[in-house]
Amino acid sequence: MHSNNRQSDYCFALRQASRHISKLYERHFSEAGITPTQFSILRMLGGGSGLTMAELAKAMVMDRTTLVRALQPLFRRGFVAVSSEGQSNRRLRVVLTSPGWTKLDDAAAHWAAAQASFERSFGPQQAAHLQSELFRMTSAVSDR
């Protein structure tokens, strides 16, 4: 027996909240000329010496096909590039380019404005708690 009670549907509630919050971030990132997903990729790559496609896909919780589609505009605009590791070209890493670092720095101000807007509307403590719970949930699910 199924129910039309959306109040008890976790998937619906999470997807609805995700779309609502994504719209907020999209408005802010549109001023920087990138999407929230592109910002997340740039930020992930900005944490070190680049990542392999498999590492980046895992970190972004994306399948490789979706990741390649998300990376294409970043490659075209020169924000990311591929570099090979050592003497073997078998381990390719996606890395930020100089324009990519510049775009990341520019977009970080828009990200901070989106964060502040979210915290104002949701409450700073509630936002921090929500973030903590979401990360706890995703790490618990990915461990299975």
C-beta separation of 74 from 38 below 8 A = yes
pLDDT of residue 50: 87
* 8-130 CATH fold: Arc Repressor Mutant, subunit A (1.10.10)
Name the pTM for this structure. Answer: 0.85
Q: How confident is the model at residue 2 (pLDDT cuts 50, 70, 90)?
A: low
Going from the C-alpha of 56 to that of each of 2, 32, 42, 51, 134, the distances in angstroms are 38, 22, 11, 6, 20
Q: How confident is the model at residue 139 (pLDDT cuts 50, 70, 90)?
A: confident
Helices marked H in the chain = 10-30, 36-45, 53-60, 64-76, 98-122, 124-142
